[in-house]
Amino acid sequence: MISLKSPREIEAMEKSGAVLAGMHIGVREIIRPGISSWVIEEFAREYFKKAHAIAAQIGFEGYQYATCISVNDEICHGFPRKKLIFKDNDLVKVDTVVNLDGAYSDSCWSYVVGKASDEVKRLMDVTYKSLYLGIDQCKVGNRIGDIGAAIQHYTEDENGYGDVREFVGHGIGPTMHEDPMVPHYGKAGQGTRLRNGMTITVEPMINTGTWEADTSDPSGWLAKTADGGLSCQYEHSLVVTDKGPKILTSQDPEADAAYLYDDNYAEYLAHYAKLAKEVAKKYMK
């Protein structure tokens, strides 16, 4: 069943989204060559605790961590690992879900460690642009297929990348994963029609080679590219409104000004970004 959110519920998700965006701002302070991916996990746990938020992924279907941290050819659902040490040009995806007073938000962001190669820069640029091309299709009266078609045409047809099929976006709230499923591939004009008040995630996962994934990892979680190519992901939670799509997990209210639900978001983010940077200082030594 698809739930339509009230203004009160959207405002609660907006605050939850600011908590999550604050975490990503903190990650940017920390990530560097020579640290392990476990450092980000520790930071996230401490920050969420101080923000009075719940790391919603812990305990979800047996998952034990606050974050998913996937590197280079890992598409998604990588565990944070003490022995995984970052090096220059690593492409790192950090994905997490936050529950703040019952309101959920979900966002993944990609980071390059140290110096980036042209290959990594281009993949990140294309994936990031595809995120917003998909978001721009999240208008009342459009269909789910319009989102995926815009992303797939840009990433595959125009840029020759692989657009992952095995994992998709989804509705969010009142729990982590809700209907409808939101593929980042598809055909325009098909699928569920978008309505005012729908809250969903758009989360393209784009590979340098094939779109196919290898899901044979014994953990039962980690997915890699089938050909060993690089994979990149960006994800926002958003609400469909009569005034267009409104992002609930923005890290840059100025750049995303046209996509903000209301003026409260920038104030929320300023508060949580400050908190995240204070917590991050401990992990920058």
139-181 residue pLDDT tens: 999 999 999 999 999 999 999 999 999 999 999 999 999 999 9
Query: 82 pLDDT exceeds 80?
Result: yes
- Kindly state whether residue 112 falls inside one of the protein's structural domains: yes
pLDDT category of residue 1 using cuts at 50, 70 and 90: confident
pLDDT category of residue 111 using cuts at 50, 70 and 90: very high
CA-to-CA distance for 164 and 168, rounded, in angstroms? 8
- Kindly state whether residue 2 falls inside one of the protein's structural domains: no
Q: How many domains does the chain have?
A: 1
Query: 285 pLDDT exceeds 80?
Result: no
230-256 residue pLDDT tens: 999 999 999 999 999 999 999 999 999
271 marked as binding residue: no
236 marked as binding residue: no
235 marked as binding residue: yes
As a whole number, mean pLDDT of residues 259-279 equals 97
How far are the Cα atoms of 77, 108, 140, 192, 209 from residue 16, in angstroms, in the given order? 22, 14, 24, 26, 35
Beta bridge partners of 207: 162, 231
pTM: 0.97
77 marked as binding residue: yes
Q: Residue 239: what pLDDT?
A: 98
Query: 278 pLDDT exceeds 90?
Result: yes
Tell me if 204 sits within 8 A of 131, measured CB to CB: yes
CATH of the domain at 82: 3.90.230.10
- Name the residue range of residue 152's domain: 7-283
Residue 6: DSSP 8-state:
P
- Kindly state whether residue 1 falls inside one of the protein's structural domains: no
11 marked as binding residue: no
User: Secondary structure of the chain: what % helix, strand, coil (to 5)?
Assistant: 35, 25, 40
- Kindly state whether residue 79 falls inside one of the protein's structural domains: yes
CA-to-CA distance for 12 and 144, rounded, in angstroms? 24
